[in-house]
Chains A and B, each alone.
Chain A
Amino acid sequence: AQTVTQSQPEMSVQEAETVTLSCTYDTSESDYYLFWYKQPPSRQMILVIRQEAYKQQNATENRFSVNFQKAAKSFSLKISDSQLGDAAMYFCAYGFDDMRFGAGTRLTVKP
């Protein structure tokens, strides 16, 4: 069964600085999708960024980028120029229909 591991329960970053959130996963499939979702307190989960496994190029969305290492089954999220609004739970997710989520990383942004 596919599993997703986020080894950092909490992370903190200074406003305007850069932070990287870690995610590893386990799968025997060769083609799959990976996602990072953000869940602000008491608000709905929204997509931050996605990666298709067959694409070697790392995905980038404005201040958010990923480091996708397929052989290592690693999918880390880098947030550049952190903003106060980035404070939230971040979930790494694998798959499509029966999507598997990690336990999440709580990101705090200090002014």
Chain B
Amino acid sequence: DTGVSQNPRHKITKRGQNVTFRCDPISEHNRLYWYRQTLGQGPEFLTYFQNEAQLEKSRLLSDRFSAERPKGSFSTLEIQRTEQGDSAMYLCATHPLAQGRNQPQHFGDGTRLSIL
């Protein structure tokens, strides 16, 4: 069983640059979630998709953040004009909604973003 895959594992960039992260879900998991986790804190929900539809995006941190899931499979999270405060771990999780809401979300290893 292939788990949730996130790439890259670590991204280092200069302030002001744009970054994009990718998440490949477990096959047939139609729900996909993005979270941000800062040091010493729990994950913070950002947005989620059901197939290609983005069902909630009001919790994205600012208009510099955007996410897509164009074909209902992999998803990308983009941060434009990065700031120091964007340094964090970005987690992707997926869920097999058809199996019921009592099933857990499955998390990837995350992408750690470091802003210089």
Residues of A participating in the B interface, judged by any CB pair closer than 8 Å: 4, 33, 35, 37, 43-47, 50, 52, 91, 93, 96-104
User: Given the known A-B contacts A44-B108, A45-B107, A50-B104, are A98 and B45 also in contact in the complex, defined by CB atoms under 8 Å?
Assistant: yes
Whether A103 and B91, one on each chain, are in contact in the complex, defined by CB atoms closer than 8 angstroms, is: no
Of the candidate stretches B11-19, B36-44, B64-72, B79-87, the one touching chain A is B36-44
Q: Is B110 part of the binding interface, using a Cβ–Cβ cutoff of 8 Å?
A: yes
Q: Is the CB of A101 within 8 A of B43?
A: yes
Q: Does the CB pair B109–A43 fall under 8 Å?
A: yes
Contacting residues, chain A, for B91 (C-beta < 8 A): 45
Q: B48 within 8 Å of A by Cβ?
A: yes
Q: How far, in Å, is B106 (CB) from chain A's closest CB?
A: 8
* A104 and B42 contacting across the interface, CB-CB below 8 Å: yes
Chain B interface, DSSP helix/strand/loop, else mixed: loop
In the bound complex, do residue A35 and residue B104 qualify as a contact, i.e. CB atoms below 8 Å apart?
A: yes
Question: Is B55 part of the contact surface with A, judged by Cβ < 8 Å?
Answer: yes
Question: B48: which of A91, A98, A101, A102 is its contact (CB, 8 Å)?
Answer: A98
A102 touches B42 (CB 8 A): yes
User: Once the chains are docked, how many angstroms separate the CA of A8 from the CA of B17?
Assistant: 38
Q: B107 contacts which of A44, A97, A104 (Cβ < 8 Å)? A: A44
Q: Which residues of A contact B45 (CB under 8 A)?
A: 98-100
**Known: A33-B101, A98-B59. Is A46-B42 also a contact (CB below 8 A)?**
no
Scoring B31, B42, B107, B110 by chain A CB atoms within 10 A of each residue's CB, the highest score goes to: B42
The verdict on A99 contacting B105 (CB below 8 Å), with A44-B110, A104-B42 known, is: yes
**Bound complex: CA A99 to CA B31 (Å):** 13
